[in-house]
């Protein structure tokens, strides 16, 4: 029996795609291998956001080829469509398939006799004609890698063409999944006891399946009976409207957590990034979200997080200071920083990457200090409270979990079998980057 191994790099969307690729291969009678060396087929689901992640893929493919000539190597994800990558790896990779061209994988599986008795699972356009072909693969019943937290893709692709981003080239334009199919998948997960559902998409809040928008979808998910949490990533500020803010802050199962990527605090940098909002627009949204949480969930803690790129081409010290200023005003609970890295094929690839590595690192460190102050301050409000925590893992006699505000909590472990459960935890201590507490 043939065996497969999948190496996944990058974002949650890639992890979710890998769960569907695994299910497809297993439905075609391939078995999972414990490591790439034992596999007949190795799938690389790649990320093109940073050069470092890209280099790791080249290194690992080279190692497999050196050791085993016969292994079939398949490459998907962000790098699959890039001509320079295809040229570089043409003698090492057997198939390049962008995820929105899933039929290339099907044809490869059939053409290489990797399957035993398949075809029943060929996701042909006729069989699911109601779904656009580029997202037909999302209808595959995935092989979830976690038994209490699940990622459910609701859309894929992006129309925004932010100057630094590869997604619109790697995944194509936005396509939304039919809401009936999403609800069916979530209902089945809740029936199996899943505690946390994350709705996924490059731009979840521009979801539209021609009948309902993101807010309406969120209400439908919230109405599914059961005790579970709802999260969603990622948003674009330009698609956040009053209806969405009202829905997110009032739906009971939706966590009190809003991730809103800023990317830069300077209007000039935002314009060159092609982000389509100003710093003032952004801050207005943040303030509306805060007010709406206070109105709709009075007394409940909430958190706001973001993504910021430092050292975008041409970012002056003054423009950078505007990002710092925005961080002080927004008082974030977490920010995921990225030092600008030029990606081939994007608009920013042609811009002059004129902020040195040292200066990028300095800017990130500077912003991180601001973050430390706001998280320390915000975390204090959690101390002394009893909060719902989803226990995610147990290690070295501690449980590690997350509150509904997505704060990490460390708890002394008492007893076994609590991983995957939502439990009440009394928060005893608030640190800058995590909370400490005891089971109530």
Interaction of residue 161 with ligand SF4, rule CB under 6 A = yes
Interaction of residue 259 with ligand SF4, rule CB under 6 A = no
Nearer Cβ to ligand SF4, position 36 or 265?
Answer: 265
According to DSSP, the β-strands at 334-339 and 303-310 are: parallel
The piece of 45-53, 80-88, 165-173, 298-306 that touches ligand SF4 (CB under 6 A) is 165-173
Instruction: Return left, alpha or beta for 172; rule: phi > 0 is left, psi -120 to 50 is alpha, else beta.
Output: left
Nearer Cβ to ligand SF4, position 73 or 162?
Answer: 162
Interaction of residue 11 with ligand SF4, rule CB under 6 A = no
> At a CB cut-off of 8 Å and minimum separation 6, what does 402 contact?
389, 390, 392, 408, 409
Please, what is the minimum distance in Å from the beta carbon of residue 166 to ligand SF4?
7
Angle formed by the axes of helices 214-222 and 179-191, nearest 10°? 30
Site for ligand SF4 in 21-80 (CB under 6 A): none
Outline where DSSP puts E strands in 11-168.
31-32, 41-46, 72-77, 95-96, 149-153, 155-156
Say how far apart CA 412 and CA 395 lie, in whole Å.
10
176 cis-preceded (ω within 30 degrees of 0) = no
> Cβ(110)–Cβ(153) under 8 Å?
no
Two tokens at 56? Answer: 């790791």
Nearer Cβ to ligand SF4, position 161 or 433?
Answer: 161
Strand partners, 335: 306
Interaction of residue 167 with ligand SF4, rule CB under 6 A = yes
Task: Select from 46, 76, 203, 405 the one that contacts ligand SF4 (CB under 6 A).
Answer: 203
Report helix, strand or coil for 306. strand
Interaction of residue 202 with ligand SF4, rule CB under 6 A = yes
Distance of CA 297 to the CA centre of its chain: 26
> Cβ(325)–Cβ(141) under 8 Å?
no
Residue 77 phi/psi, 5° resolution?
Answer: 85, -160
Interaction of residue 348 with ligand SF4, rule CB under 6 A = no
The piece of 87-95, 99-107, 116-124, 153-161 that touches ligand SF4 (CB under 6 A) is 153-161
> Per this entry, what is the length of the chain?
440
Count residues contacting ligand SF4 (CB under 6 A)? 10
* Nearest one of 11, 50, 9 to 357, comparing CA atoms: 50
* Nearest one of 217, 258, 252 to 388, comparing CA atoms: 252
Nearer Cβ to ligand SF4, position 348 or 411?
Answer: 348
Please, what is the minimum distance in Å from the beta carbon of residue 350 to ligand SF4?
16
Task: Select from 162, 254, 334, 391 the one that contacts ligand SF4 (CB under 6 A).
Answer: 162
Task: Select from 165, 262, 279, 422 the one that contacts ligand SF4 (CB under 6 A).
Answer: 165
Task: Select from 48, 98, 153, 168 the one that contacts ligand SF4 (CB under 6 A).
Answer: 168
Residue 145 phi/psi, 5° resolution?
Answer: -90, -5
Interaction of residue 236 with ligand SF4, rule CB under 6 A = yes
Please, what is the minimum distance in Å from the beta carbon of residue 167 to ligand SF4?
4
Please, what is the minimum distance in Å from the beta carbon of residue 239 to ligand SF4?
9
The piece of 74-82, 154-162, 192-200, 245-253 that touches ligand SF4 (CB under 6 A) is 154-162
- The per-type count for the chain, helices as H runs and strands as E runs, is 12, 18
> Cβ(190)–Cβ(152) under 8 Å?
no
Task: Select from 60, 86, 118, 160 the one that contacts ligand SF4 (CB under 6 A).
Answer: 160
Please, what is the minimum distance in Å from the beta carbon of residue 25 to ligand SF4?
27
The piece of 42-50, 159-167, 280-288, 383-391 that touches ligand SF4 (CB under 6 A) is 159-167
> Cβ(395)–Cβ(408) under 8 Å?
no
The piece of 91-99, 139-147, 162-170, 250-258 that touches ligand SF4 (CB under 6 A) is 162-170
Interaction of residue 346 with ligand SF4, rule CB under 6 A = no
Report the interface residues with ligand SF4, using CB under 6 A: 158, 160-162, 165, 167-168, 202-203, 236
């Amino acid at each position: 029996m043939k065996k497969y191994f999948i190496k996944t790099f990058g974002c949650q969307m890639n992890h979710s795609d890998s769960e569907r690729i695994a299910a497809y291969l297993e439905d075609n009678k391939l078995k999972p291998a414990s490591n790439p060396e034992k596999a007949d087929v190795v799938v690389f689901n790649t990320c093109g956001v940073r050069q470092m992640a890209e280099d790791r893929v080249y290194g690992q493919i080279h190692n497999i080829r050196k050791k085993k000539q016969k292994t079939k190597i398949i490459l998907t994800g962000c790098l699959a469509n890039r001509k320079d990558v295809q040229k570089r790896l043409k003698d090492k990779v057997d198939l390049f398939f962008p995820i929105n061209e899933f039929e290339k994988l099907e044809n490869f599986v059939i053409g290489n006799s990797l399957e035993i008795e398949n075809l029943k699972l060929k996701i042909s356009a006729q069989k699911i004609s109601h779904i656009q072909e580029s997202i037909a693969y999302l209808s595959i019943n995935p092989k979830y890698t976690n038994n209490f937290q699940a990622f459910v893709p609701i859309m894929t692709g992006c129309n925004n063409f932010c100057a630094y981003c590869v997604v619109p080239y790697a995944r194509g334009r936005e396509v939304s999944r039919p809401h009936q199919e999403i609800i069916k998948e979530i209902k089945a997960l809740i029936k199996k006891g899943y505690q946390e559902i994350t709705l996924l998409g490059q731009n979840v809040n521009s979801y539209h399946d021609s009948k309902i928008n993101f807010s309406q979808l969120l209400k439908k998910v919230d109405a599914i009976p059961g005790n579970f949490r709802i999260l969603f990533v990622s948003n674009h500020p330009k698609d956040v409207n009053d209806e969405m803010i009202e829905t997110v802050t009032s739906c009971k199962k939706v966590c009190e957590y809003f991730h809103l990527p800023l990317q830069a605090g300077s209007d000039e940098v935002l314009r060159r990034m092609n982000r389509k909002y100003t710093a003032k627009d952004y801050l207005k949204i943040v303030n509306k979200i805060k007010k709406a949480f206070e109105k709709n969930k009075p007394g409940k803690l909430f958190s706001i997080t973001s993504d910021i790129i430092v050292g975008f081409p041409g970012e002056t010290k003054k423009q950078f200071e505007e990002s710092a200023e925005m961080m002080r005003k927004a008082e974030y609970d977490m920010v995921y920083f990225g030092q600008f890295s030029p990606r081939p094929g994007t608009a920013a690839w042609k811009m002059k990457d004129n902020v040195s590595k040292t200066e990028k690192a300095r800017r990130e460190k500077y912003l991180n200090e601001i973050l430390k102050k706001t998280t320390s301050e915000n975390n204090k409000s959690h101390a002394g409270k009893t909060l719902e925590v989803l226990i995610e893992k147990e290690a070295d006699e501690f449980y590690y979990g997350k509150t509904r505000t997505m704060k990490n909590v460390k708890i002394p472990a008492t007893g076994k079998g609590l991983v995957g459960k939502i439990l009440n935890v009394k928060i005893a201590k608030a640190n800058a980057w995590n909370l400490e507490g005891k089971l109530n």
